[in-house]
Amino acid sequence: MEITIHHFYPNLLNTYGDIGNILALKKRCKDRNIDVNINNIKIGDDISLNIGDIVFIGGGQDFEQSLVVDDLLSKKEILKNFIEDNGCVLAICGGYQLLGKSYTTQNGDIIEGLDILNIYTVASEVRKTGNIIIKNEETGETYVGFENHSGNTYINDHTPLGKCLIGFGNNGEDSYEGVTYKNTICTYMHGPLLPKNRELTDRLISNCLKLKYEDFIELDDIDSTYEDNCKNSLLNRFDIK
């Protein structure tokens, strides 16, 4: 088996170690003898997404987001169809914001989003920085990470990725963090996210393979000692079971 990961703008949207999410996907695939192809997408590149691929969009500052937005808008219909057809997407911070309707900067400039998700973001003067721990109310899973953003994102009728146990989350007001929509996961959690949260890593891989191979049933168990120790060290620091 093999999967293809389309990494959007790795030279521009890669703050706070977001490339680690790609490394985590590759590592846990390699341990299961699943081949991984990485397609780094730059501004101006043509793209072709197939159901069974994974799309990854990392975070960036306002300036970097302004650089990629026109190119991203030119790929809107391809990305929208991919998401609506249950394609697997992981979007972090700036990538998360750009999937929504708009991002209003601190200067009042409005960056148009892809309008795939019914969300919008407004920059605030309060920078939300620190460790973050959330609990997914559907799966009961707990995820850990690090947030560093000034944007306040409002997710309207979307389902959050989790409820904040520690940290600010989407906007520091409603105690929720991120969005899940079909097979798309959006979050402000850097750290990076996936190495510390193997459940999400494996879910992305599993959902991808289910779409691509009719005979795929489930992932093989692999040693996760290192990943679990990373997560537990933060949970223990905040006395969260």
Known catalytic residues?
A: 93, 190
Size of the chain in residues: 241
Tell me how far apart the alpha carbons of residues 204 and 185 are, in angstroms, rounded to a whole number: 9
Centre a 10 Å sphere on the Cβ of residue 121 and count the other Cβ atoms it contains.
26
Instruction: Name, in order, each residue with C-beta under 8 angstroms of 158's C-beta and a sequence gap of 6 or more.
Output: 117, 118, 119, 179, 180, 181
The two three-digit tokens of residue 46, written as one number: 């043509």
CB-based contact 29:35 (threshold 8 Å): yes
CB-based contact 191:146 (threshold 8 Å): yes
